[in-house]
Homo-oligomer: A and B are copies of this chain.
Amino acid sequence: MKKLNTTPKQDGFWMPGEFEPHDGCYMIWPERPDNWRNGAKPAQKVFTEVANTIAKYEPMTVIVSKNQYCNAREQLNPKVRVVEMSNDDSWVRDCGATFLVNKKGKLRGVDWCFNAWGGLVDGLYFPWDSDDKIAMKMCELEGADRYRLDDFVLEGGSIHVDGEGTVLTTAECLLSPGRNPSMKKKEIEKKLCEYLNAEKVLWIPRGIYNDETNGHVDNICQFVKPGEVVLAWTDDKKDPQYAISKEAYDYLSNVTDAKGRKLVIHKLYTPKPILITKKESLGVDSVDGTLPRQAGDRLAASYVNYLTGNGFVALPIFGDPNDEKAIKLLSKLYPDRKIEPIYAREILLGGGNIHCITQQVPARRHE
């Protein structure tokens, strides 16, 4: 497939909202034992549950390394397509292609530069070269030509779009010193608008408390549809999350989107603080150069980290009283979709959740 030298905006390609129809979904099989406890076996079980759940609704492809290929094939539902691809970890939202469509039924991908959430400044592992090639290889698989940005670092989890010209992001992440330190905010906005084919960027100040991605937006806020978002929330003023959520709420209450609409904001209550246990910590290989997983560390738990797809919402739950509250709210917000709650503590232990480990392929359109 081609590497293009134009931009999506020039070519009439744009990123649709995640809530729009999909042609399929990708995940990467987890395996690195310095991030996933007990040789990633508990994580593989939950990833399997997520993949099999999505496969009930849309074509599901799981990327897996050579060494784990047969194991993944054995574990996953036969409906899931398994493809070999080398990788450094399993966050396809962040290293994978951002797929775009045009009005003629064509699919293309944006292949952002990936540097493991901060490169040599505050990246989470080294090296990350295999991950940085995932987007290209996904484009090849899909037969999609590709916009490669060698000079712009971005992870898919740091943006959401409404498909109607609005990009949602966080300043904490996109202005972090490990991404594009030489670029001004306005330049970053321009890049986003050019490559997502959008008109306006909304900047939530910070992401979820203690989120090791430098506060990806996909853990704190998500579009339900154009003009409507869910925001991670707590009423507990002693929780450092409160100030973060309040700040985001105030910001979002006072902006308009690309179409000039005020946003409807739904508060999605977080679970009570979830900490890594000693047992969980001991299961993770201790390796110089990767983030330690220490007992007592607070995890960045949030229900906002869900995936929407064709007729479903794959929702992480945590065994918390607020699980029910989240299911109830999303059932109301997505009346035409089945809410699929998945107990996702194992994904959270690795540093993210269901949205972070999935990447949708939007439906090719024939208008």
Contacts and interface: CB of A to CB of B under 8 A. Distances in A.
Contact of A141 (B2, B70, B83, B86): B83
B86 A66 contact: yes
A108 interface: no
A14 to B, nearest CB: 22
B85 A140 contact: no
Nearest to A141: B83
B82 A130 contact: no
B137 A78 contact: no
A66 B2 contact: no
Interface in A108-165: 130, 133, 136-137, 140-141, 143, 145
A1 interface: yes
Interface in A73-110: 73, 78, 81-86
Interface of A: 1-3, 66, 69-70, 73, 78, 81-86, 130, 133, 136-137, 140-141, 143, 145
Interface secondary structure of A, over-half rule: mixed
14 contacts: A1-B78, A1-B81, A1-B82, A66-B130, A69-B133, A69-B137, A70-B133, A78-B145, A81-B140, A81-B143, A82-B140, A83-B141, A84-B84, A141-B141
Given A2-B78, A81-B140, 12 more contacts: A1-B78, A3-B78, A69-B133, A73-B140, A78-B145, A81-B143, A82-B137, A82-B140, A83-B137, A84-B86, A84-B137, A141-B141
A73 B136 CA distance: 10
A305 to B, nearest CB: 28
